[in-house]
Amino acid sequence: MGSLGIDDAVAAARGGDEAAFERLVRETYAGVFTLAARITGNRDDASDVAQEAYIRAYRGLVDFRGESRFTTWLHRITVNCANTLLVRRNANLSDANEHDLPDGNREYHPEHRVDDGEINAEIKAALDALPISTRAVVVLSDIYDLSHAEIGKQLGVSTTAVKVRLHRGRKRMRNQLAGGLEPVNCEGSPGKTGGVARAV
């Protein structure tokens, strides 16, 4: 479904067309679930997060002004729901006061997404061990390939805060990972500092 198709479906859904909203769910679910899984580190939690995200989206459609793309808005809600779930469960958080964040105006790029099979168990464990606010930055930078400025807009924090969290997250992951791994930057070039490490 192209951008125009999404816009048409959103307009219809805002007018009370439940079939149009169901169409939106079908077309966007894979991206929402993948993002939720990256943030929560758990497929069952990701399913719960996705369900809650669509409930919030359905209730909030009347307030959707179209200032960002629908998928951008939906992914912002997804991150909020994942954050809320992990805060509620007392996950390993460094910023427990960060709950729902403002909607961003930039779009995630799922074409840059790393499939589950491309990240090994050690890296996944290291990523899952990060505090939620740090993990979100690492995921959006090294998996969704967003710039520091884009991440800041999505999470409602400064570019400086993004850089600090990304540096701390990558350092913590490098310290946790076993030998035999080589760091990869956002563009996937091996041998450079930063980026989610992958098995070589």
DSSP string covering 58-74, please? HHHGGG--SSS-HHHHH
Q: Where in the chain is the domain with CATH 1.10.10.10?
A: 117-200
Distance CA 123, CA 25 (A): 30
Does this model's pTM top 0.85? My answer is no
Distance CA 84, CA 33 (A): 16
Tell me the CATH architecture of domain 1-108.
Answer: Orthogonal Bundle (1.10)
Domain 117-200 CATH class label: mainly alpha
Q: Where in the chain is the domain with CATH 1.10.1740.10?
A: 1-108
Per-residue confidence of the chain (200 residues) as pLDDT tens digits?
554 588 899 999 999 999 999 999 999 999 999 999 988 888 999 999 999 999 999 999 988 988 888 998 998 899 889 888 877 765 444 444 444 444 433 343 333 334 445 557 788 888 888 988 899 899 989 888 889 998 887 777 899 999 999 999 999 999 888 554 444 433 333 333 456 543 32
Q: Are 135 and 144 in contact (CB under 8 A)?
A: no
Alpha helices per DSSP H over 15-139: 18-40, 43-60, 70-88, 121-128, 132-138
Among the listed residues 183, 181, 188, 155, the one whose alpha carbon sits nearest the alpha carbon of residue 167: 183
